[in-house]
Amino acid sequence: MASTSASAGDKPRQPVSIVCVGMAGSGKTTFMQRINAHLHAKKEPPYVINLDPAVLNVPFDSNIDIRDSVNYKEVMKQYNLGPNGGILTSLNLFATKVDQILGLLEKRTTSDPANPSRKPIEHILVDTPGQIEVFVWSASGTILLESLASSFPTVIAYIIDTPRTASTSTFMSNMLYACSILYKTKLPMILVFNKTDIKDASFAKEWMTDYDAFQAALQEDENSNAFGGVEGGENMGGTGYMGSLLNSMSMMLEEFYAHLSVVGVSSMTGQGIDEFFAAVQEKAEEFRRDYQPELEKRRQDRDEAKKKAREKELDKMMKGMSFSGDASKTPLERHAEDSDVEVASDGEDSDDVGPEEEFDREGLQSRYEAAMADRDESLSGDASFAKYLHSQR
């Protein structure tokens, strides 16, 4: 008997795409290895995509690897680029295959009638380059993210090096980076404080939820001259300036903190991984509830704009073409009709005279008669109208 979750009328649950971003040295690749191993241990193997073309070795198997399609060093050589330019160009080249990637993902996320024992995947893990700006702010990164989000609930996991975030200044720098990524990607985000086996992330969670706690830590850093200024200095690089700046930013980011999920994990020991996947499910539901309608609205707006642009171009083309007769007739038939209209019969040439032509003829006749009355008598009286016309040339 079928289970309740597979009963008729129930829609299969879509897999969740987890895109891991983080600064170089934050432990992003090790975190990818940990969550990949965690899912394999639960008999739920994920579909893994590696988008870092410059990495030499990865400690996990990738189903799709950018290095199989693009040679990073060859790209640098052919286009005369540096490391970051090589990564960006490699991503641009790989983004041209995004339709093939989505095709592979759709095959693996649906049941296969030919192989009913194969379970559809429930998680898609995406590893990105350590140069965050190369991925997040590039056109290729936007294409890849939007393509994933158009097909699956997509969550951004921002990996933070917890020991290096212990000071208020580096903590605030990470928060501003996370804020910019959130508003650039417009996708649900989880802040993952990594390396909690070295330093616990409770201080960061407290700073994000308790304004007074961050103010106390900020005051302590100022008193210990942690910002590198002269004690009590009034110069722009002194503690007064930094303290005021960090204080203002902490007030500004209070609303930003309310829309984030925060977890502390250790990629080495596996601590906090269950909490991370619980946050992923929460953000996936948030994606379906809040983000997906917005994505669909933006897609409809784009489709409507494209439709209007096509209609405008069609109207412009139609106005540029002259049609005569029934539009349903072939171009050859319309051409024949046009020829009939333009080429009149001999009888029409001799009999049909337009009103303007008649008016000109009468005026010329009256001018002729007046001239004849004033001419010298030597002019022959039987001079014809044709001779007069000849003399006027």
In this structure, is residue 345 part of a structural domain? no
pLDDT of 342 > 80? The answer is: no
How confident is the model over 230-281, as pLDDT tens digits?
Answer: 544 444 444 467 778 888 888 888 878 887 899 999 999 999 999 999 999 9
At residue 224, the pLDDT reads 79
In this structure, is residue 219 part of a structural domain? yes
For the CA atoms of 291, 293, 295, 297, the dihedral, rounded to the nearest 10 degrees, stands at -150
In this structure, is residue 212 part of a structural domain? yes
Which residue in 274, 249, 251, 275 sits closest to 261, CA to CA?
A: 275
At residue 322, the pLDDT reads 54
Number of domains in the chain: 1
CA distances for 113 relative to 2, 118, 152, 334, angstroms: 16, 9, 22, 56
- Give the tokens for residue 256: 């930003």
In this structure, is residue 108 part of a structural domain? yes
Give the integer Cα–Cα distance in Å for 61 and 53.
Answer: 15
In this structure, is residue 254 part of a structural domain? no
Give the integer Cα–Cα distance in Å for 332 and 330.
Answer: 5
- Give the tokens for residue 104: 């592979």
CA distances for 348 relative to 266, 335, 345, 355, 362, angstroms: 98, 21, 5, 15, 21
In this structure, is residue 366 part of a structural domain? no
> Which residue is listed with tokens 């997509």?
154
Cβ atoms of 92 and 139 within 8 Å: the answer is: yes
CATH (domain of 167): 3.40.50.300
pTM: 0.72
At residue 361, the pLDDT reads 54
Which residue in 72, 62, 64 sits closest to 92, CA to CA?
A: 72
Give the integer Cα–Cα distance in Å for 58 and 219.
Answer: 42
Mark out the alpha helices in the chain (DSSP H runs).
28-41, 72-79, 83-95, 98-108, 132-136, 139-151, 168-185, 202-209, 211-223, 239-252, 254-257, 273-286, 292-320, 331-342, 346-351, 355-374, 385-391
pLDDT tier at 312 (50, 70, 90 boundaries)?
confident
How confident is the model over 187-227, as pLDDT tens digits?
Answer: 999 999 999 999 999 999 999 988 889 989 988 888 877 66
Cβ atoms of 204 and 162 within 8 Å: the answer is: yes
In this structure, is residue 128 part of a structural domain? yes
| Average pLDDT score over the chain | 80
* 46: containing domain: 16-225+271-297
Give the integer Cα–Cα distance in Å for 203 and 1.
Answer: 50
In this structure, is residue 354 part of a structural domain? no
- Angle subtended at Cα 347 by Cα 346 and Cα 348, rounded to the nearest 5 degrees: 90
pLDDT tier at 97 (50, 70, 90 boundaries)?
very high
Which residue in 52, 25, 30 sits closest to 273, CA to CA?
A: 30
At residue 236, the pLDDT reads 40
At residue 301, the pLDDT reads 81
At residue 349, the pLDDT reads 47
Percentage of the residues of the chain whose pLDDT score is greater than 90: 45
pLDDT tier at 108 (50, 70, 90 boundaries)?
confident
